[in-house]
Amino acid sequence: MMALDVLHLRQADWRPAFRAGDFSRGLGYAEQGRSTLLSLKGETLLASCRGSGAQTYQQRISLQSFPQGWSVNGHCSCPVGFNCKHVVAALLTLERQQLAGIDLSPLIETRTEVVEQRLEGVRPSPVLILGSHVRVHFDARKGRMLEQTQHRAALAFDYQGQLAYGKPAKDLLVRQNPNLSLRIIRDASAEATLRQRLEDTGLQVALRQSEALAEHPGEHFELPNEAAWLSFVQQQVPLLREQGWRIELQPEFRYNLAQVDDWYAAIEETPEHDWFDLELGIEVEGQRISLLPILLQAIRHKPWLLNGDAMAQRQDEEMLLVSLPQSNKHIALPFARLKPLLATLGELFFREPGESSQRLRLPRADAARLSELEQGPALNWQGGEQLRGFAQRLQAHSAQQVEPPAGLQATLRPYQLHGLAWMQALGELEIGGVLADDMGLGKTLQTLAHILGEKQAGRLDRPALIVMPTSLIPNWQDEAAHFTPQLRVLALYGAKRRPLFKLIGEHDIVLTTYALLPRDLKALAAQPYHLLILDEAQNIKNPRSKAALAAGQLQARQRLCLTGTPLENHLGELWSLFNFLMPGWLGDASSFTRDYRTPIEKQANQQRLAHLSGRLKPFVLRRTKEQVARELPPKTEVTHWVELSAAQRDRYETLRLAMDKKVRDEVARQGLARSQIVILEALLRLRQACCDLRLLGDDDAQLKSSDSGKLGALLEMLEELVEEGRKVLLFSQFTSMLALIESELQARKIGYVKLTGSTQDRRTPVQQFQAGQFPVFLISLKAGGAGLNLTAADTVIHFDPWWNPAAEAQASDRAYRIGQDKPVFVYKLIARGSVEEKIQHLQQAKANLARGLLEGGSQTQWQLGEDDLAALFAPLSD
């Protein structure tokens, strides 16, 4: 009777004994016909079920009837073992056959003996199944959802279609049909050899269970990390297949990699030619896929991809595993390709988290970076022939050989020929640049050679306008007359310049000044120019200055900047130069601050620094004296510590206390950023006290030169230096300090010449000093810190330090430049323990910033913070 009750079994009677997932999967197996009923003996149903792999599992299901339903105890040979989907499939198959009217009596009448067939001497064939499982869980410590992926390999042995696994190697019993069982005698020795071969690849027995292969038979193995799995799949799996192993990759296995058939770069130029669209992609299984969304996703999961140091440690042959969009497939990208890509296209880093695109839109000038993408695996380029030619020509300028223009009255050094070739290459492409050689390496000569070359090539059909500080007009006139006498030069300065405006178009070179440019803008802007050149271009470092705004309104085929200090204080100054050269290329000031200034200056972000440096590299040519003028005699820099007088110390401390309170009150009221004017004014007063108390403007007739420890030390130095026959350049930013020094030199009958902003005749004092008529040259830092050739000097003295190390270096280089044949000594007079000493530390930070950008080095973090402020206004230290 029990058998008859079982044959009337219904889902509602036994379904509560199974989980929803097991029931759903078992239903699918039953519909696919995977379950086979073997026998029904009393309360026990025997069945077999074909799993997702090649394995067939055995089920023994005990059924017991109760008034409220059926109790089901289903044991299975699968890894789950109890009331699994295979048991569900057997029960559903029993019900379906009964409802279909199939005669089930053969199942019940199976009382004949089962014959067992023995199979031995069969060599096992290794089977390796690889799978993955993604687990998403909430990490309470980090307060967010985390994704964790586990991978497993399952090792089994195939004996004529039957899978066995595990140790010890027990006989494998397989029920072939109700009357026949098969006993397979396993080969333990062969299995051990195969197991050892697998362990030799680095795989180790998994100590914990994982859902990666929960339902697959075999011994489970694992590897320590993602890189090991990728290496195993790429290097070991092909070898195992060659050796006869059957490798089965589950669909969800992360390292079931698609093959990259091709790499491509597609360029589409915009009609206005100011921009171009760049798409970088791969071809996989005949489908083109953009790499940019893939890389954006990878960057967000692995931020270290933006770390230059971390990328440098990766070997070119190493691979990065990434997911293909809208697919469960993955590919491996070689770091040989990723390094130049991520280093070159930093715009990837600036995108908002939700922003994605198949392409990058880049300014035309950034085509210079396309050549960098040629590194690594070959790229299949499509379109953009003109832009690529532009990039190649710009990239090749360093190797270009040029001859100096005929008639140039000078012999150009190799690096100067390189500079000439660079300017000519930029000119052919109608693009601007910054010639940023150290002071004294001949920027003026290289520029004159470029202008002369343009004239001889017939391209100088319009004038070249050169803007400079007023003090440099005589220098340009002299050097043009000396090196390029065939060029017609018109100098527009002084009160009598207006009648000359009508002659502008008749000249090859027109000279004007930053001070006069805004005043004469209407007359100057009426003439288009072939070249527009800014000498000492740091004069437009403030983009809102009248000179910067006026320069931007002039029309020219090519714009150039000449400066030994393109960056003096912060990156915003460099932005201002390029806003003149190539407006819009570096974005507006706010986006430049967001993308570069803040990450570099405040966060010391080396990747952003490297990216900015890479963008600027084709358009900034910088050579140092150490690189190209090794024949120069040595330069020795000496910090000369000075002790303040008693009167200075008392006044300094009184002033410091008052200024410290004033600054703190202002910072509390306005904040640090809005208190700069008050801070600088307070620091100026302290610096003046270090120089000479008379600079403070106090009505104290009792003060004299002996009350200044620094002035006394200077006069001792000068008397000794002059007696030794030395020629001295003496710089101060305070013209009133120079006046005090002047009166002391007169009293001591020491000859001198002087150059300040109020000097009308600037040529004469330079000529007199160079001719050796006077041993001392007094120069204000602003008026004479750039552009002058004073190689007669062998000693430079900075009476007072300035914030800007570049300005001081420029002043020193008035003497230390090409043509100097004597060792040069540079002295900096610093009042010990004072604000001047603190300034030295800030100077070093600024120098590091410039070095990191222009020379590709690293830079330390720098910003004026509360700690800096406290140090600057600290009491005098002994």
Question: For the segment 262-271, what is each residue's pLDDT rounded down to a tens digit?
Answer: 888 888 877 6
Quick: pLDDT tens for 305-353: 766 677 777 877 778 878 787 776 778 888 877 777 776 665 555 555 4
CA distance 844 to 630: 24
Please tell me which residue, 346 or 494, carries the higher pLDDT value. Answer: 494
What average pLDDT score do residues 288-308 get?
Answer: 77
Residue 65 and residue 145 in one domain = no
Are 533 and 471 in the same domain? yes
pLDDT band at 486, cuts 50/70/90? very high
- Does 661 fall in a domain? no
Domain contains 466: yes
| Of the residues 76, 111, 146, the one at which a domain ends | 111
Rounded CA separation 863/483 (Å): 44
188, part of any domain: yes
546 located within any domain: yes
Highest mean pLDDT of the ranges 275-279, 714-718, 780-784: 714-718
Question: Please, what's the b/e burial string for 410-440 (b: 16 or more CB within 10 A of its CB; e: otherwise)?
Answer: bebbebbbbbbbbbbbbbebebbbbbbbbbb
Structure tokens that stand for 764 in this block:
């004469």
Place of tokens 């974005």: 587
Segment 651-656 shows an average pLDDT of 91
**Does the pLDDT at position 782 exceed 90?**
no
CA 798 to chain centre: 38
Name the band, by pLDDT with cuts 50, 70 and 90, for residue 445. very high
Label residue 859 by pLDDT band (50, 70, 90).
very low
Assign residue 522 the CATH number of its domain.
3.40.50.10810
The pLDDT assigned to 339 comes to 77
Over residues 177-191, the pLDDT tens digits come to 767 777 888 898 999
The SS3 call for residue 282 is strand
Q: Are 248 and 128 in contact (CB under 8 A)?
A: yes
pLDDT over 90 percentage in the chain: 24
Residue 738 falls inside a structural domain: yes
What confidence category does residue 452 fall into, taking pLDDT thresholds of 50, 70 and 90?
very high
Is-contact 488 466, C-beta < 8 A? no
Same domain, 65 and 128: no
Looking at per-residue pLDDT, the higher value among 676 and 543 belongs to 543
Rounded to the nearest 10 degrees, the angle between the axes of helix 835-854 and helix 676-691 is 120
Closest CA to 781 of 840, 728, 843, 731: 731
Tokens of residue 300, six digits: 């967000």
Residue 435's pLDDT band (cuts 50, 70, 90) = very high
Helix (H, G, I), strand (E, B) or coil at 510: strand
Q: Do 477 and 622 belong to one domain?
A: yes
In a shared domain, residues 92 and 179: no
Residue 131, H or E segment: strand 125-139
Mean pLDDT calculated for residue range 460-487: 90
- pLDDT of amino acid 492: 94
Q: What mean pLDDT comes out for the span 424-449?
A: 87
The domain boundary residue, chosen from 230, 249, 268: 249
| The residue to which tokens 């470092």 are assigned | 541
Average pLDDT, integer, range 855-877: 64
Percent of the chain with pLDDT over 70: 87
Three-state DSSP state, 109: coil
- Per-residue pLDDT at 618 exceeds 60: yes
Average pLDDT of span 160-188? 80
- Say how many C-beta atoms besides its own lie within 10 A of residue 318's C-beta: 16
Paired strand residues for 562: 435, 535
pLDDT at res. 856: 53
Residue 69: what pLDDT? 67
Query: How many CA atoms are closer than 13 Å to the CA of 249, on its beta-carbon side?
Result: 16
CB-CB contact of 449 with 412 (8 Å): yes
**Phi, psi (5° rounding) for residue 251?**
-55, -35
Q: Residue 622 contacts by C-beta under 8 Å, 6 or more apart in sequence?
A: 436, 437, 438, 566, 854, 855
For 52-83, the pLDDT digits (tens) are: 766 788 899 988 776 666 778 899 888 778 88
* Residue closest to 628 by CA, chosen among 412, 400, 410, 451: 412
Both tokens of 683, joined, read 């620091």
> Which SS3 state, helix, strand or coil, does residue 375 take?
coil
Q: Does residue 757 share a domain with residue 611? A: no
| Residues 583, 575: Cα–Cα separation, whole Å | 10
Non-local (6+) Cβ contacts of 88 within 8 A are: 18, 22, 23, 25, 26, 27, 29, 30
CA dist 39 → 3, 60, 415, 466, 729 (Å): 11, 10, 95, 104, 112
Q: What is the pLDDT of residue 355?
A: 47
Q: How far apart are CA 591 and CA 867, in angstroms?
A: 28
The rounded distance, in Å, linking the Cα atoms of 100 and 313 is: 68
Nearest alpha-carbon partner for 328 in 133, 154, 148 = 133
CA dihedral 422, 423, 426, 427 (to 10 degrees): -140
Residue range 510-539: mean pLDDT, rounded: 94
CB 168 within 8 A of CB 51: no
Supply the mean pLDDT for the chain: 82
Q: What DSSP string runs through 517-532?
A: TTTTHHHHHTS-EEEE
Number of domains, the chain: 4
* Residue 205 pLDDT greater than 60, yes or no: yes
Which residue would you say has higher pLDDT here, 581 or 848?
A: 581
Exposed (0-12), middle (13-18) or buried (19+): which is 406, by Cβ within 10 Å?
Answer: exposed
Does pLDDT of 438 surpass 70? yes
Return the pLDDT at 641.
82
User: What was the pLDDT predicted at 107?
Assistant: 77
Q: Which amino acid is at 445?
A: L
Give Cα separations from 99 to 7, 46, 72, 92, 712 (angstroms): 10, 19, 20, 10, 118
Strand (E) positions, 395-495? Answer: 433-435, 464-468, 489-491
Q: How far apart, in whole angstroms, are the C-alpha atoms of residue 21 and residue 33?
A: 19
Buried b (16+ CB within 10 A) or exposed e, 801-819: bbbbbbbbbbbbbbbbbbe
807-846 tens-digit pLDDT = 777 777 777 766 677 777 888 898 888 888 887 767 666 6
At residue 353, the pLDDT reads: 44
Average pLDDT over residues 496-512: 93
The answer to whether residue 853 scores a pLDDT higher than 80 is no
Instruction: Examine the pLDDT at 238 and tell me if it is beyond 70.
Output: yes
Mapping DSSP onto H, E and C, the string for 166-224 reads CCCCCCEEEEEECCEEEEECCCHHHHHHHHHHHHCCCCEECCCCCHHHCCCCCEEEECC
Eight-class DSSP state of 113: P
The highest-confidence range among 277-281, 328-332, 400-404, 525-529, by mean pLDDT, is 525-529
Same domain membership, residue 426 and residue 543: yes
| Closest C-alpha among 500, 532, 538 to residue 432 | 532
DSSP conformation class of 780: E
Answer whether 483's CB lies under 8 Å from 408's CB. yes
Looking at the structure, tell me whether residues 411 and 456 fall in a common domain: yes
Q: What is the pLDDT of residues 83-131, one digit of tens each?
A: 899 999 999 998 888 888 887 777 775 555 777 778 888 889 999 998 8
125 and 83 together in one domain = no
Question: Residue 2 has what pLDDT?
Answer: 39
Nearest Cα residue to 790 out of 440, 443, 442: 440
Sorted by sequence, the CB contacts under 8 Å of residue 46 that are 6+ apart come out as: 37, 38, 39, 40, 58, 59, 60, 61, 175
Q: Is residue 319 assigned to a domain?
A: no
CA 650 – CA 672 distance, rounded (Å): 28
In the sheet where 509-513 sits, what is the strand order?
489-491, 509-513, 464-468, 529-535, 556-562, 433-435, 620-621
From the number of C-beta atoms within 10 Å of its C-beta (0-12, 13-18, 19+), residue 562 rates as: buried
Residues 50 and 129 in one domain: no
Please tell me the number of Cα atoms within 13 Å of 100 on its side-chain side: 9
Per-residue pLDDT of 717-763, as tens digits, reads 898 788 878 889 999 989 999 999 999 999 999 999 998 888 888 78
Position 485 scores a pLDDT of 94
In this prediction, residue 787 has a pLDDT band, given cuts at 50, 70 and 90, of: low
Structural domain contains residue 157: yes
Which CATH number do you get for residue 789? 3.40.50.300
- Bridging pattern class, strands 635-642 and 824-831: parallel
With CA atoms as reference, report the closest residue to 400 among 417, 376, 382. Answer: 417
Tell me how far apart the alpha carbons of residues 699 and 178 are, in angstroms, rounded to a whole number.
122
Q: Within this chain, do residues 40 and 174 fall inside the same structural domain, yes or no?
A: no
Rounded to 5 degrees, what are φ and ψ at 167?
-120, 145
3 state SS of 268: strand
Domain boundaries, position 149: 119-249
CATH number, residue 86: 3.30.310
Q: Does 141 score more than 70 pLDDT?
A: yes
Which band of pLDDT confidence, cut at 50, 70 and 90, is reported for residue 4? very low
Residue 143: exposure state from Cβ atoms within 10 A (0-12, 13-18, ≥19): exposed
pLDDT the model gives residue 860: 42
Look-up of token digits 């300094």:
652
Question: Residue 215: what pLDDT?
Answer: 67
In-domain check, residue 674: no
**Domain endpoint, select from 207, 222, 249:** 249
Give yes or no for residue 288 having a pLDDT over 70. Answer: yes
Q: What's the distance, Cα to Cα, between the start and end of the chain in Å?
A: 111
> Cα separation of 140 and 146, whole Å?
10
Confidence check: pLDDT of 851 > 80: no
Average pLDDT over residues 771-799: 83
Tell whether 485 and 441 lie within a shared domain.
yes
How do residues 379-402 score in pLDDT, each as one tens digit?
788 787 777 777 777 766 655 678
Averaged pLDDT for residues 555-574: 86
